[in-house]
């Protein structure tokens, strides 16, 4: 089943990768949302755990090895085409992740760019819907004592 005009919703995962006061962002190179900045992530493959899928997607899109932590939130993204049909329908699970901030990200897979962005600068990026709030929620989770 493809992601475009799916028969049922596609399960996807994203990583809110935090390191040294920065978050790892990618600029989307494919639809939906070409040119927008978002969290690295993608569809879960058959047989993969959610954490395995999240780590793989981060690695494929940025070259960064991340440790996947707790769930930050679950979101739904439904996008209709001009005729009103569902062109995309994702159920997205966003995870708090950590990585070495010294690792230089490189765009790969379906990302045009990958970058560490200071948390205070995220509003300057043209982000996909709900991304800024997910990042803030993850940063709050990460700041809580264990």
Q: Looking at domain 10-143, does it have CATH number 2.60.120.620?
A: no
Tell which residue, 22, 37, 45, 47, has the closest CA to residue 97: 22
Q: Is the pLDDT of residue 126 over 60?
A: yes
pTM of the model: 0.91
Check: CB of residue 57 under 8 Å from CB of residue 13. yes
Tell which residue, 53, 56, 51, has the closest CA to residue 69: 51
* Number of continuous H segments (helices) and E segments (strands) in the chain: 2, 7
Q: What kind and span of H or E run contains 42?
A: strand 41-43
Summarize pLDDT for 50-86 with one digit per residue, the tens.
999 999 999 999 999 999 999 999 999 899 999 999 9
Each domain of the chain, given as residue ranges in start order, spans 10-143
Q: What is the pLDDT of residue 2?
A: 62
Summarize pLDDT for 11-38 with one digit per residue, the tens.
999 999 999 999 999 999 888 788 999 9
């Amino acid at each position: 089943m493809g992601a475009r005009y799916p028969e049922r919703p596609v399960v996807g995962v994203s990583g809110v990768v935090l390191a040294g006061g920065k978050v790892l962002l990618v600029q989307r190179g494919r639809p939906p949302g070409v040119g927008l900045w978002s969290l690295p992530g993608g569809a879960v493959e058959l047989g993969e755990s959610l954490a395995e899928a999240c780590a793989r997607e981060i690695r494929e899109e940025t070259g960064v090895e991340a440790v996947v932590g707790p769930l930050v939130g679950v979101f739904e993204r439904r996008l209709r085409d001009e005729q009103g049909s569902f062109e995309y329908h994702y159920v997205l699970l966003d995870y708090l992740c950590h990585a070495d901030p010294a690792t230089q990200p490189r765009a790969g897979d379906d990302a045009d760019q990958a970058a560490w962005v200071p948390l205070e600068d995220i509003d300057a990026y043209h982000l996909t819907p709900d991304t800024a709030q997910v990042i803030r929620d993850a940063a709050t989770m990460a700041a809580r004592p264990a």
